[in-house]
Structure 1
Amino acid sequence: MTGRRIASIFLPHFAMERWQRVMERQGSAPPDDVPVVLVVDGAHGQAIYAANRAARVMGVTQGARVVDMRAICPTLRVEYADVAGDKFALDRLSLWARRWCPWTVTDGAGGLILDTTGCDHLFDGEGAMLIDMETRLSLLGLTSHLAIAPNWGAAWALARYGPVRAICGEAELAQQLAPLSVAALRLDADTMLLLRRLGLKTIGQLAEVPRLSLTRRFVRAALGANPLMRLDQAMGRLAEPVASVDARPPIRAQMRLPEPILDPTAYLPTLCEDVCMQLEGKGLGCRRLHLTVYRTDGEVRRLEVATAAASRDAPHLCRLFDDKLDRIDPGFGFDLITLEAGLVEQMDNVQTRLDGRSDEGVALPQLIDRLTARLGAGAVKRPVLQASHVPERVEHWVGAMGAATLTTDTPVLPPKDRPIRIFQTPEEVRVLYVVPEGPPAQFIWRRQTHRVARYAGPERIAPEWWCDRPNTRLRDYFKVEDQAGRRLWLYREGLHEDGRGGDPRWFVHGMFA
């Protein structure tokens, strides 16, 4: 096809699929049948920003309030959305998409626009290029809807309201857009409501209305509220150029060697210092470093290290490669070494002491980096507080290198008077005698008989009705001290004749100092 060609990539579940990949890397991804939503704070409470497939099947819709959706899905798991992180990831994805054409730009919260004019012959046609796009995006775990049309507006409309893959030529433009909803013209909610009240539900119906009557109504409307301007953009009568952003130049250091070597260790400190100087000059810090060696036989070998926080400390970054360089197969040697900062973040200079110097102690992020480099990413975890009053749910363990997201917008503080050790799974005890309205006078735990010398309580903890099963029983907690001075945290699960089971059961849930 001749003329201008614009491709639109629509990623309908980008935020949720990105969150799922992060959880998988941390080893804490929920099962596929658990309904999960990402939320943001709205004018009337938390609003749903994204939902996984299990939640959508149960009727959860984007934009609805969380309190309303819990009525139809009581087991809904709520996590906060990382809107800024999604935008940053989409910006990087737009640069990654330049494998198909040189001009790319982001389009809203889950879309990309590519100017593919003159590039389709590199992929044996536009059909093959769309298949390649869909395949590569699926390998990243992303669901995509694709379209190619003569202009931005038509490609946007077909990608979101047309088939999964659509190709539209100049001659078929009006025919393919006519049955689509007026929402495909990128209009705001008030304008769409007005058009529906006028009986104009499709683009074809809108195009048949005399322009003079619509011009009188929308002559002063802005672009998003002017259906005539949006219709002209979709039909190619009004230009809409693709203003592509420039890619950030890579921060890279390289060293060419006069003769092949087998070990890059001696050159690594110099490369790290060079990269850190570039980072400092731009006010950045790196989260990932990629070491690449080019062998004389044409083969390439790579190593990657990551940091828990942005850093430009050359000695620290160099030490992260300890015990990793042995994994490189040098072959007959290599004569080119490159070190590149793969992921960078803004990092301002901070003075931590009055004399202008920084603290000489080892910072926690550096300790995490060294432990992760030596033991592996899955072996180092850290606790994250959750918004829950059930003791075993207050703390959640995630990968130390990942970003933690709290499930509430208010500070989460651990309750007072809690044991220093809480069992993740409470251990049931066999009760011999019970004090009325109090703890067991004598019980067997771990094959030993304990006699209660003194106690305090009870502290009642009710079930979390928004996530627990309907028959979940309440708990009464007691702090007890046995005859040997051991201080335990016991609770009684349920009450007599509460209609939620048989007799109450007793459990040990923690130990005091």
Structure 2
Amino acid sequence: MTGRRIVSISLPRLAIESWLMRAARRGDAWPEDLPLALAAPGPHGPIIHAANRTAELAGARIGARAVDIRAICPNMRLEPAEPDRDAERLARLAFWARQWGPFSTPDGGDGIILDTTGVAHLFGGEAALLTSIRSGFARAGLTAGLALAPTRGAAWALARFGPERAICTDPLPMLAPLPVAGLRLSGETLLLLRRLGLKTIGNLAGLPRLSLMRRFARAEAQDNPLIRLDQALGRAPEPLDAPEPAPEFAAEARLAEPVIDPSDWLPGLMGNLCAQMAAADRGCRRLCLSVFRVDGERRDIRVAMAAPARDPAHLLRLFDGRLERLDPGYGFDLIRLAAEAVEPLKSAQPGLDGAVPQGVALERLVDRLAARFGTGAISRPLPQESHIPERTETPGPPLAKAPVPLARPDRPIRLLTPPEEIRVLYAIPEGPPAHFIWRRQTLHVTRHAGPERIAPEWWRDRPGTRLRDYFRIEDESGLRLWIYREGLVHDGRGGLPRWFLHGIFA
């Protein structure tokens, strides 16, 4: 037997309770003393998918034909079921339930499996842990059946067929009186077991295995009663497939009363989280702030960094103006700050004047711009292999790890896209124009350097593309420009050469 502790959360009324909550938000609240049922398509017409307690007392049974139930309960309201929306809410609830354990996942269409190994002492013991979970789901408006056991199968069976909030250490004695339906078998297999006189798990466990192995040799693994029994008793492994790993570094605040704004708690959580990362010489590239609402919803805000960081003051600034976007609902009682994409980060010694190194300052500037305007609004140049100036770099994401291309002193940082054609008034032979018009201004060249010849890239450019001769020029006012002549006279690739202004020097 392993030391695992698994909590199974059964939500048998998830569909009807979720529908009632959505109807209340729409202003169509339905009283509990009137019968209500949800219908889903069936092989012979609509069948009952879920019902409130009043409809159940009137005879509504899950799986029964809706017309038959209508006959015995004419005043019952019948609405279409919304299984897709229920599945989405169950997935959200599974993440929300991680306030009680690091790993969780939806279990079928009406339950959640939660791995609480090693965390019960944080809540005052396993009984207090189950009480906290049930209270949390009750505040969310959901009825939950709970059980805690060393295996997933045992917890599942006890949550649905065992005593209320059962805590199991040895599965077999507690599972023996439960029906065989607690082994998560299909309806056909359960019918066969009942015909064989095997009504309880204890009856099944007491039979010789050889005869049962012959009977169910061709059954699927998830529908084989022997495999399911071994999984429930801990004889066969059954891993828990959580959608995402638990954060390596996290800080959380549990609040006695629901609040609306997490701003007062964020500095303390950030300081705690950064201290954890500093102790391990780690930094993070993403931060996730999660608030767990009392209605069972969870809201996340994520910020990203250009380089690993753990400075609390800098990371706090990335949340400026973003906390207002949270929808608190009726308030939240748990705030969690988790570090994602963690990487090694050694401590850096500042200069003698206390200034931050230039590279760190640039990274923090990128972080603030991305947090304020979004990563899609800014970019950084990424180097490309090309002789053509406009192809030597391409816009990339601001958080890309590629090196920033080094600026050449003989080329301007600012390029015009596309290059602007200029009208030449007088040209120097084999040199730049002496006078030309650009943007309705006549410029007189006083100095020039060049030419720098750049041939077309034959493997990328179309046939007939002309070469370029670039010149660095300066006019009477000191304005320095980068111009080029496209083509040569008698090059056989067009008419007279054309002149373009491609860049402006700082």
The one-letter amino acid of 2:213's match is T
- Cα distance in 2 for partners of 1:295, 1:118 equals 30
Cα distance per residue 1:74-112 (max 9 Å; x no partner): 111110111100000000000000001110000011100
**Aligned equivalent of 1:230:** 228
**Aligned equivalent of 1:198:** 196
CA contact (8 A) 1:12 1:144 kept: yes
- Cα distance in 2 for partners of 1:180, 1:90 equals 26
**Aligned equivalent of 1:87:** 87
**Aligned equivalent of 2:186:** 188
- Cα distance in 1 for partners of 2:265, 2:64 equals 59
SS at match of 2:235: coil
**Aligned equivalent of 2:217:** 219
- Cα distance in 2 for partners of 1:340, 1:231 equals 51
Following TM superposition, by how much is the alpha carbon of 1:135 offset from its aligned partner in structure 2, in angstroms?
0.6
1:153 matched to 2:130? The reply is: no
Alignment of 1:164-179 (within 5 A): 164-169=164-169, 172-179=170-177
**Aligned equivalent of 1:414:** none
1:245 to 243, 246, 252: 243
Equivalences, count: 268
C-alpha distance 116-298 of structure 1, shift in aligned 2 (>3 A): closer
Following TM superposition, by how much is the alpha carbon of 1:143 offset from its aligned partner in structure 2, in angstroms?
0.4
CA contact (8 A) 2:2 2:234 kept: no
CA contact (8 A) 1:6 1:150 kept: yes
Cα distance per residue 1:131-177 (max 9 Å; x no partner): 000111101110011000001000000000011210000xx311000
CA contact (8 A) 2:105 2:241 kept: yes
**Aligned equivalent of 2:125:** 125
- Cα distance in 1 for partners of 2:246, 2:8 equals 23
SS at match of 1:113: strand
C-alpha distance 102-197 of structure 1, shift in aligned 2 (>3 A): same
CA contact (8 A) 1:293 1:338 kept: no
- Cα distance in 2 for partners of 1:338, 1:30 equals 37
SS at match of 1:234: helix
SS at match of 1:45: coil
The one-letter amino acid of 2:108's match is G
**Aligned equivalent of 1:36:** 36
C-alpha distance 152-204 of structure 1, shift in aligned 2 (>3 A): same
- Cα distance in 1 for partners of 2:168, 2:265 equals 48
Alignment of 1:27-106 (within 5 A): 27-106=27-106
Cα distance per residue 1:201-222 (max 9 Å; x no partner): 0000001110000001111110
**Aligned equivalent of 1:6:** 6
C-alpha distance 17-207 of structure 1, shift in aligned 2 (>3 A): same
CA contact (8 A) 2:4 2:150 kept: yes
Following TM superposition, by how much is the alpha carbon of 1:42 offset from its aligned partner in structure 2, in angstroms?
1.0
- Cα distance in 2 for partners of 1:293, 1:124 equals 26
C-alpha distance 296-166 of structure 1, shift in aligned 2 (>3 A): closer
Following TM superposition, by how much is the alpha carbon of 1:32 offset from its aligned partner in structure 2, in angstroms?
1.4
Using structure 1 for the length normalisation, give the TM-score.
Answer: 0.49
1:18 matched to 2:2? The reply is: no
**Aligned equivalent of 1:142:** 142
C-alpha distance 222-196 of structure 1, shift in aligned 2 (>3 A): same
**Aligned equivalent of 1:294:** 263
Following TM superposition, by how much is the alpha carbon of 1:30 offset from its aligned partner in structure 2, in angstroms?
1.5
C-alpha distance 9-340 of structure 1, shift in aligned 2 (>3 A): farther
- Cα distance in 1 for partners of 2:152, 2:104 equals 12
**Aligned equivalent of 1:449:** none
Identity %: 52
SS at match of 1:79: strand
Following TM superposition, by how much is the alpha carbon of 1:16 offset from its aligned partner in structure 2, in angstroms?
0.5
CA contact (8 A) 1:39 1:46 kept: yes
C-alpha distance 247-54 of structure 1, shift in aligned 2 (>3 A): farther
SS at match of 1:132: helix
C-alpha distance 48-119 of structure 1, shift in aligned 2 (>3 A): same
Cα distance per residue 1:411-444 (max 9 Å; x no partner): xxxxxxxxxxxxxxxxxxxxxxxxxxxxxxxxxx
- Cα distance in 1 for partners of 2:203, 2:266 equals 65
The one-letter amino acid of 1:93's match is L
- Cα distance in 2 for partners of 1:157, 1:188 equals 14
Q: Which runs of 5+ in 2 are unaligned?
A: 248-259, 270-318, 328-506
Alignment of 1:343-358 (within 5 A): none
- Cα distance in 2 for partners of 1:248, 1:209 equals 41
**Aligned equivalent of 1:207:** 205
Cα root mean square deviation, aligned: 2.8
**Aligned equivalent of 1:505:** none
Following TM superposition, by how much is the alpha carbon of 1:223 offset from its aligned partner in structure 2, in angstroms?
2.2
- Cα distance in 1 for partners of 2:155, 2:58 equals 31
Q: Which has the larger radius of gyration?
A: 2
The one-letter amino acid of 1:118's match is G
SS at match of 2:147: strand
C-alpha distance 296-198 of structure 1, shift in aligned 2 (>3 A): closer
- Cα distance in 1 for partners of 2:209, 2:106 equals 32
Following TM superposition, by how much is the alpha carbon of 1:338 offset from its aligned partner in structure 2, in angstroms?
1.8
Following TM superposition, by how much is the alpha carbon of 1:47 offset from its aligned partner in structure 2, in angstroms?
0.9
**Aligned equivalent of 1:337:** 321
C-alpha distance 218-296 of structure 1, shift in aligned 2 (>3 A): closer
Q: Which runs of 5+ in 1 are unaligned?
A: 250-290, 301-334, 344-513
- Cα distance in 2 for partners of 1:42, 1:36 equals 18
Cα distance per residue 1:24-82 (max 9 Å; x no partner): 11221122111111111111100111101110111111111101111211111110111
The one-letter amino acid of 1:135's match is S
CA contact (8 A) 1:168 1:176 kept: yes
Following TM superposition, by how much is the alpha carbon of 1:295 offset from its aligned partner in structure 2, in angstroms?
6.3
CA contact (8 A) 2:8 2:147 kept: yes
- Cα distance in 2 for partners of 1:296, 1:201 equals 54
- Cα distance in 2 for partners of 1:101, 1:295 equals 25
CA contact (8 A) 1:35 1:75 kept: yes
Following TM superposition, by how much is the alpha carbon of 1:2 offset from its aligned partner in structure 2, in angstroms?
7.8
- Cα distance in 2 for partners of 1:99, 1:297 equals 17
The one-letter amino acid of 1:121's match is H
SS at match of 2:9: strand
CA contact (8 A) 2:101 2:116 kept: yes
Cα distance per residue 1:457-500 (max 9 Å; x no partner): xxxxxxxxxxxxxxxxxxxxxxxxxxxxxxxxxxxxxxxxxxxx
Following TM superposition, by how much is the alpha carbon of 1:248 offset from its aligned partner in structure 2, in angstroms?
12
The one-letter amino acid of 1:30's match is W
Cα distance per residue 1:282-325 (max 9 Å; x no partner): xxxxxxxxx9683699899xxxxxxxxxxxxxxxxxxxxxxxxx
SS at match of 1:294: coil
CA contact (8 A) 1:8 1:159 kept: yes
C-alpha distance 296-199 of structure 1, shift in aligned 2 (>3 A): closer
